[in-house]
Amino acid sequence: MNAVEIQELKKTFDGENYVLKGLNLQIEKGNIACIIGFSGTGKSVLLKHLLGLYKPSSGVISILGKNIADLQDSEMSSFRCNFGVLFQDAALFDDMSTLENVMFPINEYRKDLSYKERKELASAKLDQVGLGKEHFNKLPSQVSGGMRKRVGLARAIALDPDIILYDEPTTGLDPIMTEMVDDLILSTHRSRTGITSIVITHDLHAAFRLGDEIAMLDKGKVLLKGTAEDFFNTDIDLVKRFVEKGVKKT
Ligand SMILES: Nc1ncnc2c1ncn2[C@@H]1O[C@H](COP(=O)(O)OP(=O)(O)OP(=O)(O)O)[C@@H](O)[C@H]1O
Ligand SMILES: [Mg+2]
């Protein structure tokens, strides 16, 4: 079964210039899919379509077998429970403790639980991503960048989503922290069967290490989709250049 199925997705913001130009992509349930590509090729626009934040100009997006165009706005908001998103800068609430940050979606969607249960659930998620209890009452500004990533990830997985989206999870991090975040993506992915992880990244090493499948976007379409091996063996010039640059850089 495909977690994500995109057919001929086109998107224009001004009615004239197309950012996505007939994009086709399938992501198998249970896989880690990495989406790579040069800057400005539409990766973030694609991500926002998956979350229902942008509407396609044409084409079909199905997620977990549901055509998301069929969902009303109110249904879309509950459908979003299927998603966990780790934004690039973790996007935490500055004036809430790390624990309160993780409790935020739980408070919103798990009103069936008591306060104590919600707090326990949030603690368990922070524990799962390896954040020590001594940091639970600190503000995001009082913990390190790596810890903020952990908090962001704990919040992303708070509702046990089936699909986890990572938007440039390691951009701007040092090599040690990059490896730590990549490890965290892997361990989170493996923490439950059936999770689908979608990682948008500039980091080719991460894509090759994490990705069961890798899709390279170019000019609003998928230029190549395959395994790391397919990327090394390709004849497509632009992919070769991307691979050479990515491998040379580190
Ligand atoms: N809301 C918007 N309105 C108009 N144009 C947009 C909007 N969002 C994105 N675009 C355009 O769509 C194109 C693709 O942008 P996108 O952010 O998806 O690139 P990207 O592949 O994520 O690049 P990067 O690797 O730099 O993050 C860009 O030309 C951008 O200007
Ligand atoms: Mg982007």
Each of the 250 residues of the chain gets a pLDDT tens digit; together they read 899 999 999 999 999 999 999 999 999 999 999 999 988 899 999 999 998 889 999 999 999 999 988 888 788 877 888 899 988 777 899 999 999 999 999 999 999 999 999 999 999 999 998 899 999 999 999 998 888 989 999 999 999 999 999 998 888 778 888 888 899 899 999 988 999 999 999 888 889 999 999 999 999 999 999 999 999 999 999 999 888 877 654 4
Supply the CATH number for residue 123's domain. 3.40.50.300
Ligand 1 atom nearest to 48, measured from its CA: 18
Ligand 1 pocket mutation pick from 21, 23, 36, 43 by most atoms within 8 angstroms of CB: 43
The one-letter amino acid at 91: A
Task: Tell me the C-alpha to C-alpha distance, in Å, between residue 168 and each of 27, 117, 234, 235, 244.
Answer: 18, 32, 24, 27, 20
Predicted TM-score (pTM) of the model is 0.90
Print the domain residue range for 227: 2-249
Residues with CB under 6 A from ligand 1: 13, 19, 37, 39-45
Q: How many domains would you assign to the chain?
A: 1
For residue 250, what pLDDT is reported? 45
For residue 248, what pLDDT is reported? 55
Of the candidates 93, 97, 95, 122, the residue with the CA atom closest to the CA atom of residue 107: 122
